[in-house]
Amino acid sequence: MPEYEPVLLRRVGRPNSQSIDTYRADGGYRALEKAVAQLTPEQVVDQVKASGLRGRGGAGFPTGLKWTFLPKNHPGPIYLAVNGDESEPCTFNNRVLLEEDPHQFLEGVILAAYATRAWVAYIYLRYEYGRCYRTLEKAVAEAYAQGLLGRDILGKGFHLDVHLARGAGAYICGEETGLLESLEGKRAWPRVKPPFPAVEGAFRKPTVVNNIETLACVTHIIDRGVDWFKSMGVPPDPKNPRDPGSYGPKLYNISGHVNKPGTVELPLGVTVRELIDKYGGGVWKGRKAKGAIPGGISMGIMTEAEFDTPLDFNGPGKVGCLGLGTGAVTVFDEQTSIADVLYNITRFFSHESCGQCTPCREGTGWMMKMADRIRRGDGRLEDLKILEEIGNAIGIMPGTTICGLADGAGWPVKNAIKKFRPEFESLIRAGTKSTSLQLVSAH
């Protein structure tokens, strides 16, 4: 494969990459000027649909198709809600995009609003991303000053206001309807769907919810064209008639026990092994990997033997993981106890379950307690069976919860036990106490 030239990250590290002047000097807002001059909103939707762009936030829903779910000829308002709550553990690609090149994303916001006829865009950012917030606040002000936001944008009679909203440290706000509830000033309890946000979203009005990286891709689809976007990635699986393919560039995060953690942009479909060896500098201390999480911890766990799996929308599912997720790979080496990994993951979900659905609220808590028991050397062999049972019983898929947080909480547990059963059994039989420090009292 020839070296890939980054597009989304092309301006990262350039002097003053955040300013509107350098962005425009690099060809920024050209796509927006082209769209409002030459394309109808419907044509923008059609181009995004034709590109095959799928949401980068985790679920991979086709973006253009999502836009077509808005009611036709709606009197308005229609809202665009941008999901910048990036809270999936081990994920930081949106942070890099916003801190380094906010206008590339903002251009995508304006294009999406033009396409969907949204009058107002709310950009919901997790509170933890303070630098993103301040960078974006400045970028929005610059865009207003240059007539790219506000009334009569570029003199074409199209209006858009952008407002920033900040979260308050809750993972559940990344779930799209949890985000909308939070935006409305309420506790972020996800809504029962349908109605989907496109029909009844923010303030009970039709709303499009899109991820930050997704919108950054929209900018380049309009600028460089559909063919450019489709020239990379993985075409649809001929054996799966429902697979729309995995096209375009993707940001991958690499962290954990690697020599060179960071963010890399590649065409969809790179393997975990390539990411680690070629872009992550290999596993640290000359050790071997024991496994990795493939796209945020919700997606489950891959063993080292599964590292040749391509990270496109379908790849991780072939080895029993939940999906591509956020494309965030975290590696753990052969000396890491799987019991520690499982405990860390279950503790996260137990802390972040929003508490609305009993199976998730209780299930995540019990999974953490059992994982902790195993880690302390007090586990019982039957705990493994109970953990698997809970993992299978909570979530949208079994039909016991309103949102997918529980599916993501159960998946790594199921994967861990299925793929690392011999290690768990020997830890339990020997009563092995983990040597690593974990502050249980801190929960």
Partner 1 sequence: MGFLSEDLKQKILACLPRFPNKQAVTLPALHLVQDELRCVPLEAMREIAAMLDLSPAEVHDTMSFYGFFRDEQHPLGKTRLWMCRSLACSLLGAEELLDHACKKLNVKPGGTSADGKITVEFAECIGGCEGAPCALINDEHRMNLTTEKVEALLAELRQ
Give me the residues that bind partner 1 (CB under 8 A), please: 77, 86-92, 94-95, 126-131, 133, 163, 165-171, 182-188, 203, 253-257, 261-263, 293, 297, 328, 330, 332, 336, 340-341, 344-345, 348, 351-352, 354, 436-439, 441-442
State the nearest-atom distance from the C-beta of 235 to partner 1, in Å.
Answer: 31
**Smaller CB distance to partner 1: residue 161 or 425?**
161
State the nearest-atom distance from the C-beta of 325 to partner 1, in Å.
Answer: 13
Cα separation, 233 vs 337, whole angstroms: 35
**Smaller CB distance to partner 1: residue 47 or 182?**
182
Residue 120: other Cβ atoms inside 10 A = 20
Cα separation, 107 vs 148, whole angstroms: 9
State the nearest-atom distance from the C-beta of 245 to partner 1, in Å.
Answer: 29
Cα separation, 170 vs 278, whole angstroms: 34
State the nearest-atom distance from the C-beta of 90 to partner 1, in Å.
Answer: 5
Structure tokens, 138? 């400045």
Collapse the DSSP code of 244 into the 3-class scheme (helix H, G, I; strand E, B; otherwise coil) and give the result.
coil
**What are the residues facing 79 on neighbouring strands?**
120, 207
**Smaller CB distance to partner 1: residue 83 or 253?**
253
State the nearest-atom distance from the C-beta of 19 to partner 1, in Å.
Answer: 20
Strand 79-84 versus strand 120-125 pairing type: parallel
Contact 323, 313 (CB under 8 A): yes
Q: Order the strands of the 249-256 sheet from edge to edge.
A: 262-267, 249-256, 328-333, 289-293, 302-303
Cα separation, 215 vs 218, whole angstroms: 5
CA angle, residues 150, 154, 155, in degrees to nearest 5: 95
**Smaller CB distance to partner 1: residue 430 or 437?**
437
State the nearest-atom distance from the C-beta of 201 to partner 1, in Å.
Answer: 12
**Smaller CB distance to partner 1: residue 97 or 387?**
97
**Smaller CB distance to partner 1: residue 47 or 255?**
255
State the nearest-atom distance from the C-beta of 366 to partner 1, in Å.
Answer: 19
**Smaller CB distance to partner 1: residue 53 or 345?**
345
Cis peptide before 194 (omega within 30 of 0): yes
Contact 361, 355 (CB under 8 A): yes
State the nearest-atom distance from the C-beta of 184 to partner 1, in Å.
Answer: 5
Cα separation, 242 vs 249, whole angstroms: 21
CA atoms within 13 A on the CB side of 418: 16
**Smaller CB distance to partner 1: residue 263 or 309?**
263
Indicate the burial class of 434 (C-beta count within 10 angstroms; 0-12, 13-18, 19 or more).
middle
**Smaller CB distance to partner 1: residue 48 or 125?**
125
State the nearest-atom distance from the C-beta of 207 to partner 1, in Å.
Answer: 12
Structure tokens, 35? 């769209």
Phi/psi at 37 (nearest 5 deg)? -85, -35
